[in-house]
Structure 1
Amino acid sequence: MNVLDTFRLDGRIALVTGSSAGIGTALARGLAQAGARVVLNGRDAQRLAEAQAQLRGEGLAVEARAFDVADRAAVDAAVDAIERELGPIEILVNNAGIQRRASFIDFPAADWQELMRTNLDAVFHAAQAVARRMVPRGRGRIINICSVMSELGRPGIVPYTASKGAVKMLTKGLAADLGPSGINVNGIGPGYFKTELNRKLIDDAAFSGWLVARTPMRRWGEVEELAGAAVFLASDAARFVNGHILYVDGGLTASV
């Protein structure tokens, strides 16, 4: 087989959580362009429908399912319905996430719990629900969206950093547990990308200037630049890649 053919995802069903906007939509678009039938997910049905219409307008095979990935019962029901109505989920991308900024001393306990439910618990719930179906089939790809904050710390986002560090180690643990069943579990660690989640930082001239100077590529990332990593890790080109976190960060984690 030609090596380029191993990157194709034709006929595979991919569920991408948190994909009604930003990085999630970009990842969904990339997987669909590679031939996958992608199921978008989000809590806001209206935003989800708009994302679905946009991608279908580009000629891509896209479905949509509105549910909260932090709700275990909702995750189980949605995975059941997708597999029953569309077919086996062969690719899961755990992308849903939130950010809350405050000093550690003043960080509200309720915000900590909400952040952990969305950024960490939801990854566990979705991965377990899908893996239970992948294991008997002996194949599957799970991609968890980590962050450069899986490796680095910054003031004001202690809980986010804790959640993304945990997702990194959850990824490695899942790779060890599920690898013998033919399931590859890897992560993507985005650097700083132009998204609504980062709007406050983008609009902060001092921070943006610091970031550009700190990043070897000397710029912010564009969300489309994450799609190739997702296609690679979802494809047969990465069939012997397991437990790896692929940092797409312009070199941020490689330099001091």
Structure 2
Amino acid sequence: MADAVLQSLSASSLFDLRGVVAVVTGGGTGIGLMITSTLIANGATVYIIGPKQEDLEKVAKVYNDAAAKLPGRGKIHSIEGDVRFKSEATRLAEEIGKREQQGITVFFNNAGINGGKFTRPQAATAEAFVKSYFDPIKQEDFDVTLNTNAVGPYWLTFAFLPLLEKWKNNGELAKKFVPQIIMTSSMNGWTKDPATSGFSFPYLLSKSAIGHATSTLAHELLPLGIRVNGIAPGFFITEMSAPGTIDAIGESHGENYPPSFETPTLPNGTRRDMGSLALMLIANWFINGETVLIDGGTLLKHPSSY
């Protein structure tokens, strides 16, 4: 008996994702690609959604070619889509639903942008604050950022609910991996220091909204047995946070890229950090309504409400 217990608790058993079907918005770049590559490394089928099919296919080919050389690995499928719009959410769910008749295991609302940046005021006067916070920000900065980071995930969550509910009919596999939605929030949903967001109020507001949506949706979806959890990253090297430091397969070459704020441990999180958190959330069915902060302790150094 004990040997069966030990086998069931081994990493190779807990995190064996063969048969799992995941959808990752923004899954071809940045944090999304960190999640995607981890999932296929452990056997999952992953659909990545992004704005340009050509870019998605390039990333998918690189990783699929590598996965084909190794046993038990998964596969990436790419679908172009604009996550901001309700009509696109419906189309994407229908397209993936046609391919995955058994439903999907997990949906990552991950796509995000950081727009509408400002600089610190040069003086403690109302005029200086207006020049920093008001003048350089456009209405479009708020519209695009909030629609991408907060409104789009709402449409996508409900568009994909039927596919997540379908997953519950998959016998033992559905018992091992309970259907789930995972939101990518940010430590900036709780910070009181805009430096940690790269000085973007639209980004701060959008990530705060996603943090609240995570717990609210987890409560609302209890009757369906579909969990909702969140990831709140700190500083990870991506094309958004460190432009020009990422290669064609999403690997960072900016390990020493300095953040614009103080961090108490290493300067940035890694693919391994993000990937292992994604695996934990997928494998652990006793977590619901939580947003996990993964920031290297940054918010211990900056004022926040976390």
Same-fold status (TM-score > 0.5): yes
Q: Name which of 75, 81, 89 aligns with 2:104.
A: 89
Q: 2:20 & 2:244 partners in 1: Cα distance?
A: 37
Report the alpha carbon displacement of residue 255 of structure 1 after superposing the two structures with TM: 3.9
Q: 1:129 to 1:209 in 2, by over 3 A?
A: closer
- Larger deviation: 64-73 or 80-89? 80-89
Q: Tell which structure's C-alpha radius of gyration is larger.
A: 2
Whether the aligned pair in 2 keeps the contact of 1:22 and 1:223 (CA below 8 Å) is: no
Aligned to 1:113: 143
Larger RCO (alpha carbons 8 Å, 6+ apart)? 1
Q: Name which of 163, 180, 185 aligns with 2:223.
A: 180
Q: 1:198 & 1:137 partners in 2: Cα distance?
A: 35
TM-score (norm 1): 0.90
Which residue identity does 1:66 align to in structure 2?
Answer: E
Indicate the percent of aligned positions where both proteins have the same amino acid. Answer: 27
Q: 1:200 & 1:141 partners in 2: Cα distance?
A: 32
Which residue identity does 1:189 align to in structure 2?
Answer: A
Q: Which runs of 5+ in 1 are unaligned?
A: none
Q: 1:199 to 1:209 in 2, by over 3 A?
A: closer
Q: 1:229 & 1:94 partners in 2: Cα distance?
A: 15
User: What SS is found at the alignment partner of 1:27?
Assistant: helix
Whether the aligned pair in 1 keeps the contact of 2:105 and 2:167 (CA below 8 Å) is: no
Q: How does 1:1-256 map to 2 (within 5 A)?
A: 2-3=8-9, 4=11, 5-59=13-67, 60-87=74-101, 88-100=103-115, 101-102=117-118, 103-106=132-135, 107-135=137-165, 138=168, 139-153=178-192, 154=194, 156-199=199-242, 208=258, 211=261, 214-235=262-283, 238-256=284-302
Whether the aligned pair in 1 keeps the contact of 2:44 and 2:75 (CA below 8 Å) is: yes
Q: 2:133 & 2:260 partners in 1: Cα distance?
A: 22
Q: 1:201 & 1:58 partners in 2: Cα distance?
A: 24
TM-score (norm 2): 0.76
Moved over 6 A (4+): none
Whether the aligned pair in 2 keeps the contact of 1:34 and 1:231 (CA below 8 Å) is: no
User: What SS is found at the alignment partner of 2:113?
Assistant: coil
Whether the aligned pair in 2 keeps the contact of 1:135 and 1:178 (CA below 8 Å) is: no
Which residue identity does 1:40 align to in structure 2?
Answer: I
Q: Which runs of 5+ in 2 are unaligned?
A: 68-73, 119-131, 169-177, 246-256
Which residue identity does 1:232 align to in structure 2?
Answer: M
Which residue identity does 1:62 align to in structure 2?
Answer: I
Aligned to 2:123: none
Question: Which has the larger share of helix?
Answer: 1
Counting matched residue pairs gives 248
Which residue identity does 2:258 align to in structure 1?
Answer: S
